[in-house]
Chains A and B, each alone.
Chain A
């Protein structure tokens, strides 16, 4: 392939490029039609009043004004931030911890395996399992009752406890795959600097802080980036466990978007929330990854 490239003087005019573009075109067209057209349509709808039945009526930025005026929307922004923070601390943090504790151990793979299995369960499946455990009078309450604790908290009813336990349920599912990714990162660290550091007397936390953590950084950037994007989109667990309730106490942005659109048939307002969520998610991902990956080069 490289020799082909070398013998090709003006690549752009080469028929090879045009045939390659021809082959790619259907895929690009598919993405354009199925992704960008709906995106543009959603953006257009966000400036209209539309109940999904008649014709959309242009109302300018009214939906956006209404959105920022709505205390339920602001509550849902706060909950989403709690999700972003929580899923960084818990599944990413514990995942890293498990990877560090097991990567050099004999049989470490077997220790990591149980953490990985829940990853195969779908989000709604996780929600169903944890609803049985955390519902009032559920498995956890019964287990605590057996030890004499009768006045247990109402896990899924009281806010913000319900969001916290849902984050833990998500952590139960996500911790294994983060541990796996970090283990791959740790295994790809060259032996020489590690051995040099050990000879210099570094061990434990010092070894982690000065050698492992900096060398893991590109991978951490990806894991954290993915985690931020996933947590901003949180929907299935909450829909499955509390439906955003009681009231709207545990709603996330994705849930508010869904409710406004499909429950209240306020397609315009729902689309405005969708646009807001898309901008926030893209901005968070781009800013974070750009900062992380560029500072790596500087470092």
Chain B
């Protein structure tokens, strides 16, 4: 009996190893430059915009995107990571810049795009500053899908009713918040999940951009007295009732529309959501660049995020993905994208459909402003995860900031120790 079991065990082991073997490696690049390109994104809400763009890409580049949108970012990240081990790695996919992209580049999983960037920079399609974000060891990887500046959106009706003008200094912004609170209106939106970092980011970078930079390189500790001071200010503001109910499940755009709060600190992609909620750009809502906390700064720091479009190195559609990436950088593609999505264009030669966004693009390009990487991209992932949770916990139950900062710093200590 016993000996007869052996063939079964051997068969099971053999099929298991075959299954594992078939999971490894990637596909062979088929070399096609036209056709249907499988595209994966965690921006499921933008799927109609990508479909709209197909009209332009079909006629100009003879490539059609077949978009699969994920609405859960975590699930999406796991899917992309796992796909590199199969022959289904995507010909085109969206990702995050910063440490998440660096990790993929280090493992040689991403196709190089240096030639595309060289052509784009030479043609004046993209700034050299933006190229830095996509450069690893002197080579470029991926192309920018979008660019967003983090600004303050406000409900124009509330500002008009209260006789409030856009602030030009931090002190003015604070007095607006006080005035709104006095009138029974909550000044700012906040949430305790995911987007918990922006006020921290705003106040740290607005106080001292080098301090902000130090957090992302590990040179500054989260328990640094200057950071603690900033958190104390945030706590005072929380206690003064400047922020909305963190547990609210109302969509942020709808909340701004119905006046649950007067202002919301968000990326310039938020125009699309506000338009979707039925507000009219320039009539019902407007935006301003948030003045620096520290009035002595010569340039006003503005957070910028740029999401990449990447091609997997071992994808069977590598050539097709790179061909599309090259077209994507062109003014015609960016003009079509701006029309479809209603977003800021990274290509200065593209025409931006929404005048408010066009103005923002010109404003922040001037010497009075300094762009810095958004906290989400600037912070290494393990520290970011803990920080987002801790800011969320602080927002839900504002109190002594030290325990929150110590928890983040403990993770940061572990992370930087591993990097040495």
Contacts and interface: CB of A to CB of B under 8 A. Distances in A.
Contacts of B247: 135-136, 154-157
Given A245-B393, A246-B392, A247-B392, A136 B248 contact: yes
Contacts of B193: 243, 245-246
Contacts of A156: 247
Interface string A180-194: 000000000000000
Interface string A13-55: 0000000010001001100110001000000000000011110
A131 B192 CA distance: 14
Interface stretch (B12-20, B119-127, B215-223, B281-289): B12-20
B71 interface: no
A263 interface: yes
B249 interface: yes
Interface string A213-256: 00000000000000000000000000000010111110000000
B15 A247 contact: no
Contacts of A158: 396-397
B3 interface: no
A262 interface: yes
B192 A246 contact: yes
Nearest to A154: B247
- Interface of A (DSSP majority class): loop
B381 A264 contact: yes
Interface centre among A21, A37, A157, A259 (most CB of B within 10 A): A157
Nearest to B5: A21
B74 interface: yes
B389 interface: yes
Contacts of A155: 247
A21 B1 CA distance: 13
B19 A37 contact: yes
A281 interface: no
Contacts of B107: 53-54
Interface stretch (B78-86, B128-136, B140-148, B197-205): B78-86
Interface in B101-158: 103-104, 107, 109
Nearest to B260: A137
Given A157-B397, A247-B393, 19 more contacts: A21-B8, A25-B11, A29-B11, A33-B12, A53-B84, A53-B104, A53-B109, A54-B107, A136-B246, A136-B248, A246-B246, A247-B396, A258-B74, A262-B75, A262-B77, A263-B385, A264-B381, A264-B382, A265-B103
